[in-house]
Every structure is written in structure tokens, then in C-alpha cells.
């Protein structure tokens, strides 16, 4: 029963980390847009790079949780 709680807690933690990272990214983008309107739009290659970094960070968190869960099995 405690293993199930640990897995559910890991899932909740992953959702929390993802939402926190999304909030930081969204807030920074909005702040940049409001404070520097003449700076221009972001480069599409830069945006793709940011998305890839975000995906890699999510995968690292997922792998870390999976490793911790398998140690307790």
C-alpha cells in the first residue's frame, strides 16, 4: 500500500514541477512582451530549442522518479 502512495506522490510531484516550469516560462515571456514591446518576436529556432530543453527536463524528472520507484520494489 505504501508503494502505491509513493507512485501517486511521484506523479503529483511531476505534475507540480511541470506546471511550475510552465508558469516560470509563461511569466518570463509575458514580462518580456510587456516591458520590451519593440524587441520583436522570438526566433522560431530559439522557440524550438526552448521546447526541446523543456521536454528533456521533463524526461529527466520522469526517469529520476522511475529509478527511485524501482529501488523500492
Going by the DSSP 8-state scheme, the letter that residue 40 receives in this structure is -
* Distance between CA atoms of residues 32 and 72, nearest Å: 44
Place of cell 530543453: 53
Res 26 pLDDT > 60: yes
What's the domain count of the chain? Answer: 1
Percentage of the chain modeled with pLDDT above 70: 89
Tell me the residue range of the domain where 28 lies.
Answer: 2-36+44-71
- Quick: pLDDT tens for 29-52: 888 888 877 766 556 677 778 888
- CA separation (Å) from 20 to 24, 25, 37? 6, 9, 25
Q: For the whole prediction, is pTM greater than 0.85?
A: no
CB 61 within 8 A of CB 21: no
Average pLDDT over residues 5-17: 84
* Distance between CA atoms of residues 20 and 67, nearest Å: 22
- Quick: pLDDT tens for 47-73: 778 888 888 888 888 888 888 878 876
Amino acid at each position: 500500500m505504501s508503494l502505491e502512495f509513493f507512485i501517486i506522490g511521484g506523479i503529483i510531484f511531476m505534475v507540480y514541477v511541470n506546471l511550475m516550469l510552465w508558469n516560470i516560462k509563461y511569466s518570463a515571456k509575458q514580462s518580456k512582451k510587456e516591458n520590451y514591446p519593440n524587441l520583436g518576436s522570438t526566433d522560431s529556432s530559439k522557440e524550438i530549442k526552448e521546447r526541446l530543453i523543456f521536454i528533456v527536463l521533463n524526461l529527466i524528472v520522469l526517469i529520476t522518479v522511475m529509478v527511485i520507484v524501482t529501488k523500492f520494489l
